[in-house]
């Protein structure tokens, strides 16, 4: 009897050891499946799919993990299906001069003053190759023309349908473009993520003398094309969207791949830490 009990005890200890060992194997797995963030816009979906596969594989554990897994799947689906793309790579990081709603004083050295109706996206090196700009959403090119203060301008009209089937029409305005580089004409359809063309050259006719950068504005279209880059009264900003907020709400946040992969890795890390 005593002998049997000892055997049973040995069996239990063995089992525990085996469980712990298996646990160790499970803990190692996530670290091998960490996904490196890759930035080019057109590979966004592939990156997210890779993150999903790697992350979900790593999260195939019990309990809380399942909830986190569902949460992450929903989040990733939303990003993949959002069909909203950055107009320029590193969009948020390169908003280093003027963001939406920023007040530019008439006393500043700037040519214009007032409340900025969009984001300015800077280039890090004006001697670099031309900087591509992309269609933020699928829609129609409704303007492609030279406008004083901007140089080359493109406006994309796109629609959104809410849960009640109400349709809203928006415009995405791109200022300071090289118009000759634009592959589309007015009336053409573009798909989200398509390259429109490139930024205008630094302090040239293409930018109407401005530095090389993208002025990007988004507004709800109610019959008026809004070219203004600044408004005198803060209250008038109501006619424009905050572009980065607009995109974030549609699940394109600052660096979507990185943010979501960070989330995945953090979730995996939590599970690893909580696993006894």
Contact criterion met (CB below 8 Å) for 85 and 41:
yes
CB of 230 to Zn ion, least distance (A): 8
Residue nearest to Zn ion (CB): 215
Tokens standing for residue 35: 């996904």
Work out whether 226 is an interface residue with Zn ion (CB under 5 A). Answer: no
Work out whether 215 is an interface residue with Zn ion (CB under 5 A). Answer: yes
CB of 214 to Zn ion, least distance (A): 8
CB of 150 to Zn ion, least distance (A): 8
Residue 153's beta-bridge partner residues? 145, 175
- Over its C-alpha atoms, the chain yields an Rg (Å, rounded) of 25
CB of 175 to Zn ion, least distance (A): 6
Q: Which of residues 105-124 bind Zn ion (CB under 5 A)?
A: 120
229 contact partners, CB below 8 Å, separation of at least 6? 112, 116, 117, 118, 149, 150, 175, 215, 217
Residue (229 or 243) nearer to Zn ion, CB = 229
CB of 97 to Zn ion, least distance (A): 8
Q: How many residues form the binding site for Zn ion (CB under 5 A)?
A: 3
CA quadruple 15, 18, 23, 24: dihedral sign: positive
Residue (114 or 256) nearer to Zn ion, CB = 114
Work out whether 212 is an interface residue with Zn ion (CB under 5 A). Answer: no
Map tokens 């160790």 to a residue.
24
H or E segment to which residue 55 belongs: helix 44-58
Binding site for Zn ion (CB under 5 A): 120, 215, 229
């Amino acid at each position: 009897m005593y002998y049997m009990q000892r055997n049973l005890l040995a069996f239990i200890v063995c089992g525990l050891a085996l469980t712990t060992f298996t646990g160790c194997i499970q803990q190692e797995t996530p670290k091998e499946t960490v996904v490196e963030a890759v930035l080019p816009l057109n590979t966004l979906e592939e990156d997210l799919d890779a993150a999903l596969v790697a992350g979900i594989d790593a999260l195939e554990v019990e309990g809380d993990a399942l909830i986190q897994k569902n949460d992450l799947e929903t989040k990733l689906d939303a990003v993949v299906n959002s069909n909203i793309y950055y107009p320029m790579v590193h969009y948020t990081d390169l908003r280093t001069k003027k963001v939406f709603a920023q007040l530019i004083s008439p006393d500043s050295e700037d040519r214009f003053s007032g409340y900025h109706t969009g984001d300015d996206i800077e280039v890090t090196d004006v001697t670099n190759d031309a900087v591509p700009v992309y269609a933020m959403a699928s829609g129609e090119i409704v303007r492609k023309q030279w406008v004083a203060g901007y140089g080359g301008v493109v406006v994309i009209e796109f629609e959104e349908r809410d849960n009640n089937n109400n349709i809203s029409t928006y415009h995405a305005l791109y200022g300071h473009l090289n118009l000759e580089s634009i592959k589309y004409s007015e009336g053409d359809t573009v798909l989200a993520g398509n390259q429109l063309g490139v930024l205008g050259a630094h302090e040239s006719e293409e930018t109407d003398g401005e530095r090389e950068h993208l002025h990007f504005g988004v507004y709800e279209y109610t019959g008026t094309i809004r070219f203004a880059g600044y408004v005198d009264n803060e209250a008038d900003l109501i006619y424009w969207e905050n572009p980065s907020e607009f995109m974030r709400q549609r699940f394109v946040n600052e660096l979507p791949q990185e943010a979501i992969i960070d989330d995945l890795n953090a979730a995996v890390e939590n599970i690893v830490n909580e696993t006894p």
